[in-house]
């Protein structure tokens, strides 16, 4: 096999476009590459490694002979497409929330729980972008000193909502600056020059679905069902890059110096923490990088076993595209792609 046949669904979206860049940067071995989106994008051309490829409408035929299918569409559409791709013999890496909490679906951040890819049954999920960067900062500390409780407030960029929300922020910003009336479509209120304490629908318990994902997904990825998490997720008028103020309560005290050392030694985390020189992570510094940046590490004045920190990451890269490709790399490295295809072929032979 020269390389797997790879299908990218949602290739015209905010994540899909970055995914193509990451695919080229990481030199992921690809035999055939198929670019798919909705019928609206059929016929558009995108450049991959200097080659122009045409986008196709996603149909069941898109998955014929595919080995790996990356899906970056809404969860409702993922729910329909992923089982068709698995049935066609592919391994699916899904970016949506559709399957994340299903017990048969590994939810993976490879630096933390790469071994979970071993028990996949065709679909693997990436976490929500706000969860990924938080667990990247929590896990190295948790291994040394188990975490009991996390309070997190997020400052999430509009690209977390997708390409159309990025355009809405651009248009609204211009409208506000030119004194024109604004129109809110992707959010319930104007996002330009404002902040919205509202990401995804409200649940009966008063949290939003985004906030609840940060609790449930953290527990699943870190294999730590006892960790308490309370999140407030806020949308801010930033194009790319999510920020989080994270307050952690450990089992025992941990000094900021110890935390810095543990974080600096963890792959994919970069400590940016020199407040005396106004040096701390900011979204403008994380764009285009796969690192999760951590700074403002300090003792939490409200608890003897507490630390506070500020965590920033490119939500389209480590929060989505890069993490998805890292999962695929694990699947390929461990020979799980061929096993998936072999099992499917065997099942079909038996059914004949
Ligand atoms: N944005 C992030 O930071 C982030 C992070 C982690 C996970 N995710 C998840 O990743 C997924 C994609 O997010 P996004 O931000 O890239 O959204 P987006 O910018 O809105 O892109 C959506 C993509 O879905 C395609 N699509 C729509 N209907 C389709 C259909 N019926 N069949 C095939 N493709 C269809 C769109 O194609 P057209 O252009 O043809 O309409 C577009 O390529 C979502 O589930 C999101 O929750 C996003």
- Residues 243 and 130: their CA atoms lie apart, in Å, by 8
What is the token pair recorded at 340?
């998936």
Per-residue pLDDT at 49? 86
- CATH hierarchy code of domain 130-315: 3.30.360.10
Which H/E stretch holds residue 150?
strand 147-156
Average pLDDT, the chain: 96
Residue nearest to atom 40 of ligand 1 (CA): 38
**Residue 278 main-chain phi, psi, to 5 deg:** 55, 35
Lowest average pLDDT, out of 139-153, 186-200, 229-243, 337-351, goes to 337-351
pLDDT classification of 337: cutoffs 50, 70, 90: confident
Instruction: Out of 36, 129, 233, 286, pick the active-site residue.
Output: 129
Ligand 1 centre from 96 Cα, in Å?
8
As a whole number, mean pLDDT of residues 50-62 equals 96
Rounded distance from Cα 78 to ligand 1 centre (Å): 10
Contacts of residue 260, Cβ cutoff 8 Å, sequence gap at least 6: 271, 273, 297
Query: Any catalytic annotation for residue 233?
Result: no
Contact 313, 133 (CB under 8 A): yes
Site to probe by mutation for ligand 1, drawn from 72, 132, 319 as the one with most ligand atoms within 8 Å of Cβ, is 72
Residue 115 makes CB contacts below 8 A (sequence gap 6+) with none
What tokens appear for 321 in the block? Answer: 């595209």
Distance 72 CA to ligand 1 centre (A): 5
Structure tokens at 312: 């920033």
- Ligand 1 atom closest to residue 38's alpha carbon, by position in its atom list: 40
Q: Using CA atoms, how far apart are residues 319 and 328, in angstroms rounded to an integer?
A: 15
Take atom 2 of ligand 1 and give the residue whose Cα is closest.
Answer: 160
Which residue is closest in CA terms to ligand 1's atom 3? Answer: 160
The rounded Å distance from CA 35 to ligand 1 centre is 13
For residue 129, indicate whether it is catalytic.
yes
pLDDT at residue 342, rounded to an integer: 67
- What confidence tens digit (pLDDT) does each residue in 116-149 have? 999 999 999 999 999 999 999 999 999 999 999 9
Q: Residues 228-258: pLDDT tens digits?
A: 999 999 999 999 999 999 999 999 999 999 9
Can you give the pLDDT at residue 50? 87
Task: Provide the pairing of β-strand 51-57 with 306-313.
Answer: unpaired
- Closest residue CA from atom 34 of ligand 1: 37
Q: What pLDDT shows up at residue 352? A: 67
Answer whether residue 62 shows pLDDT above 80.
yes
Task: Specify the residue for token string 């248009």.
Answer: 171
Say which of 36, 120, 242, 286 is annotated catalytic.
Answer: 242
Q: Say how far apart CA 194 and CA 175 lie, in whole Å.
A: 14
For ligand 1, atom 47, which residue shows the shortest CA distance? 96
Instruction: Give residue 291's Cα distance to chain centre.
Output: 13
Q: What is the pLDDT of residue 254?
A: 98
Domains 6-98+319-351 and 130-315 share a fold: no
Instruction: Please tell me the distance from the alpha carbon of residue 144 to that of residue 181, in angstroms, as a whole number.
Output: 53
Alpha helices (runs of H) in the chain, residue ranges in sequence order: 14-25, 75-87, 110-113, 129-144, 163-177, 209-222, 256-264, 283-286, 322-333, 336-351
Question: Three-state DSSP class for 82?
Answer: helix
Query: What phi and psi, each to the nearest 5 degrees, are found at residue 280?
Result: -160, 160
Cα 128 to middle of ligand 1, angstroms: 13
* Rounded distance between C-alpha atoms, residue 247 and residue 154, angstroms: 12
pLDDT at 275 over 60: yes
Q: What is the CATH number of domain 6-98+319-351?
A: 3.40.50.720
Percent of the chain beyond pLDDT 70?
Answer: 96
Q: Whose CA is nearest to atom 45 of ligand 1?
A: 96
CB within 8 Å of 341: residues ≥ 6 apart? 67, 89
Would you list the domain boundaries of the chain? 6-98+319-351, 130-315
User: How far does residue 148's CA lie from ligand 1's centre (Å)?
Assistant: 35
Can you say whether the dihedral through the CA atoms of 132, 73, 239, 33 is positive or negative?
positive
The tokens describing 117, both together, are 């890819």
Contact residues of ligand 1, CB 6 A cut-off: 9-16, 37-38, 40-41, 58, 72-75, 77, 95-96, 129, 159-160, 162-164, 315-316, 319-320
């Amino acid at each position: 096999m020269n390389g797997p046949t790879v299908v990218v669904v949602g290739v015209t979206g905010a994540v899909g476009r970055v995914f193509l860049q990451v695919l080229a940067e990481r030199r992921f071995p690809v035999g055939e590459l198929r670019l798919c989106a909705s019928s609206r994008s059929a016929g558009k051309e995108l450049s991959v490694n200097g080659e122009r490829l045409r986008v196709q409408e996603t149909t069941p035929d898109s998955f014929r002979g595919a080995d790996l299918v990356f899906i970056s569409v809404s969860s409702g559409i993922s729910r329909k497409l992923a089982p068709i791709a698995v049935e066609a013999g592919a391994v699916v890496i899904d970016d949506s929330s559709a399957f994340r909490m299903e017990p048969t679906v590994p939810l993976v951040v490879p630096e933390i729980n790469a071994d979970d890819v071993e028990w996949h049954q065709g679909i693997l999920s990436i976490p929500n972008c706000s969860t990924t960067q938080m667990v990247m900062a929590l896990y190295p500390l948790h291994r040394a000193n188990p975490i009991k409780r996390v309070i997190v407030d997020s400052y999430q960029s509009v690209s977390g909502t997708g390409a159309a929300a990025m355009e809405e922020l651009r248009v609204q910003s211009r409208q506000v600056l030119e004194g024109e009336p604004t129109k809110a479509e992707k959010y319930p209120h104007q996002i330009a020059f404002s902040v919205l304490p509202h990401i995804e629908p409200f649940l009966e318990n008063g949290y939003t679905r985004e906030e609840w994902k940060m609790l449930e997904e953290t527990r699943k990825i870190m294999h730590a069902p006892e960790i308490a998490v309370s999140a407030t997720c806020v949308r801010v008028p930033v194009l790319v890059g999510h920020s989080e103020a994270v307050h952690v309560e450990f089992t025992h005290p941990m000094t900021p110096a110890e935390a810095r050392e543990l974080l600096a030694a963890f792959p994919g985390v970069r400590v940016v923490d020199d407040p005396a020189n106004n040096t701390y992570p900011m979204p403008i510094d994380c764009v285009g990088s796969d690192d999760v940046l951590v700074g403002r590490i300090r003792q939490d004045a409200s608890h003897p076993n507490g630390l506070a920190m500020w965590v920033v990451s490119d939500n389209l890269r480590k929060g989505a595209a890069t993490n998805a490709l890292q999962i695929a790399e694990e699947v390929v490295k461990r020979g799980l792609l061929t096993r998936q295809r072999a099992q499917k072929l065997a099942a079909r032979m038996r059914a004949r």
